[in-house]
Every structure is written in C-alpha cells, then in structure tokens.
C-alpha cells in the first residue's frame, strides 16, 4: 500500500487485494466522519470530483475505482453487485475503516444497497443517487449491451479510430455556442476507455450481471424494509434518461426511514448538474442524522418479523 498522503490530496493511490490492483482516493481529516463514494457503470472515483474537494474539508472520504473500472485491475471474474460489495468491504479493511456512510450512484447505488444488506455492522447511512437495482427500467443502450454477441460488436463501435474522431468532435462541440450537459466531460472519456479489451469485457460482464434485454434483472425493492433502522437518502434527477425517477419515488415509499431529494431538470448525474445543491443536501443528511449502530442481529429480527407477518 502507498504511504499516507496529506488529507487534502485527491490523487489516486492503490493497494493489492487478492492479487488484483485496486485504485482509490482517500482524503479528508483523519478524525472526520467516514464516507464511501461508489461510482456508476464505466465510471471511476473521478466521477465524484465535482463534490470531492468540498466534501473532504470535514469528512474522511474513500472513493474506489471498482474492479473492472478506472485504473483498477480488470480481471476475468465476478462483476455482480454482491462481489463488488465484498470488494468494498475488503478495501475498507485494508485502509483501516470499520464503518462508514455508503453513497452510491447508478451501479454504485445497487452496490451500496448490497453492501448494507451484507455488512450492516459496517454501514452507518445509505445514500442512493439515481440508483440501479430498484426496478426494471433502464436506458435502451444498456439493454443492447447485454445482448449475446455484444462483446463482438463493441470492438467495431469502440475502435481507436472512431474514438479519436469522437475526441475531435468533443473539442469541436466545446467551441459551439450551445449549452452542454454538465456530465459531458465525464461521460465521453469514460466510454472511450472501452477501446481497451479488458475494460470492454469487464463492462459487458458487469452489464450482464444486472441487466438483460428486458431491463434490470435485480430489484432490491422487496428488501428496503431492512433499512427501517438505517438513515437513507434518495437523490434523483427528475429528467434522468437512464434510470427513471419513478424508481426513486417508489423506493422512498418503501424505505420508511428515508428522505427523498429531487433535482428539477437534472439528468442521471445530479452531482454534475447541480453540485452545490447536491453537496448541501448530502452534507445536511450526513451531519443531521444519527448513524445506524445495527448489525446482523437487527437484520435477523427484521427478517423474522417480516416472515411472521407474511405467514
């Protein structure tokens, strides 16, 4: 593992876990409230840069590149939400974290929920941002990428010549007098990374672990009652074209200990569309809710109560 760096340093460092390199950013005061940030599909810890500098002023933040993403290793292996959650647990152990509030965007939201279910004793709060795993709805492009043979088609679509052309168009678009989506600069390079064979295969395996031609295969809504003793914040852009806002509204109804924050006119990346408001609402939640101190016993009692009610 790399040596300790100053708390304000947001550059990446890495650790080897189970033989694979895991890259992450860790910053903020050593005694600050601990927060884990989990990015979305094809993203990386860089996805959180619009809020990282301010968030790390008073909070200790850990933002990994999930396996198969960013600068982390991209082995042939398990890319399911459960496997990602176990990887987050292992990284927390490696850097000496016992508990944290878990914040997840898109795919990272599904991983955050899975983490809270698998490791409740390590989870203080749960924050879901345009989260996957709450219903079938998902963008058509992601459905298409789950189809058989997608791994054969993607090399034709994401070849280096086309990506080079895309980079030139990217620079050209920046010169046009038209407003661009706030996340434009994040999404473009992220998808350009799919020119690499390992990244492309990891992307397809990740997609297929949770999406098929009919939409999302994983719906954790039936387990949201388990968050009744864990403070939960649900944040969503009202104009999200990838995962519909109705998923967030329904999750809020089912999670009895949740708050719902909607960002009018925002898309799938509300922390890019309105970073100031996003940070204000996130900090208010982190600073004014009491962390869960539950664990396996609490989950056991909730599951038994739910089972008794259903019988």
Helix axes 160-175, 184-192, angle to 10 degrees: 170
Angle 30-31-37 (CA atoms, 0-180°, nearest 5)? 70
Farthest-apart Cα atoms in the chain, separation: 64
Task: Name the residues annotated as catalytic.
Answer: 106, 240, 268
85 contacts 78 by C-beta, under 8 angstroms: no
Tokens of 9: 């340093």
**How far, in Å, CA of 128 to CA of 251, rounded?**
10
Task: Give Cα 181 to chain centroid, integer Å.
Answer: 20
Please list, in sequence order, all residues whose beta carbon lies within 8 angstroms of the beta carbon of residue 94, skipping any fewer than 6 positions away: 1, 15, 17
Phi, psi of 131 (to 5 degrees): -75, 140
**How far, in Å, CA of 306 to CA of 63, rounded?**
34
Task: Give Cα 101 to chain centroid, integer Å.
Answer: 13
**How far, in Å, CA of 192 to CA of 201, rounded?**
14
Q: What is the DSSP string of 45-85?
A: GGGGTTTHHHHTTTEEEEEE--TTSTTS---SS--SHHHHH
**How far, in Å, CA of 50 to CA of 48, rounded?**
6
């Amino acid at each position: 593992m790399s040596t300790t760096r100053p708390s304000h340093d947001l550059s990446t460092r890495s650790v080897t876990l189970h033989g694979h390199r895991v890259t992450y950013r860790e910053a903020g005061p050593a005694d600050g409230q601990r927060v884990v940030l989990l990015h979305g599909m094809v993203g990386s810890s860089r996805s959180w840069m619009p809020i990282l500098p301010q968030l790390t002023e008073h909070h200790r933040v850990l933002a990994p590149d999930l396996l198969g993403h960013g600068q982390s290793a991209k082995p042939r292996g398990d890319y399911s939400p459960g496997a990602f959650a176990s990887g987050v647990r292992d990284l927390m152990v490696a850097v000496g974290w016992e508990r944290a509030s878990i914040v997840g965007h898109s795919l990272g939201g599904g991983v955050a929920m899975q983490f809270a279910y698998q490791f409740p004793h390590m989870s203080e709060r749960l924050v879901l941002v345009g989260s996957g795993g709450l219903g079938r709805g998902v963008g058509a492009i992601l459905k298409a990428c789950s189809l058989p043979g997608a791994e054969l088609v993607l090399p034709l679509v994401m070849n280096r010549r086309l990506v080079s052309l895309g980079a030139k168009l990217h620079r050209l678009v920046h010169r046009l007098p038209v407003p661009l989506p706030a996340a434009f600069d994040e999404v473009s390079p992220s998808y350009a990374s799919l020119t690499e064979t390992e990244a492309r295969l990891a992307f397809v395996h990740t997609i297929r672990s949770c999406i098929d031609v009919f939409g999302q295969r994983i719906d954790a809504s039936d387990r949201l009652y388990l968050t009744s003793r864990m403070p939960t914040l649900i944040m969503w852009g009202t104009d999200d074209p990838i995962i519909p806002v109705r998923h967030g509204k329904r999750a809020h109804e089912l999670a009895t200990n949740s708050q719902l924050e909607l960002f009018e006119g925002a898309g799938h990346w509300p922390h890019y569309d309105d970073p100031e408001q996003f940070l204000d609402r996130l900090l208010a939640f982190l600073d004014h809710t009491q962390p869960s101190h539950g664990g396996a016993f609490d989950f056991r009692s909730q599951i038994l109560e739910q089972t008794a009610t259903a019988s």
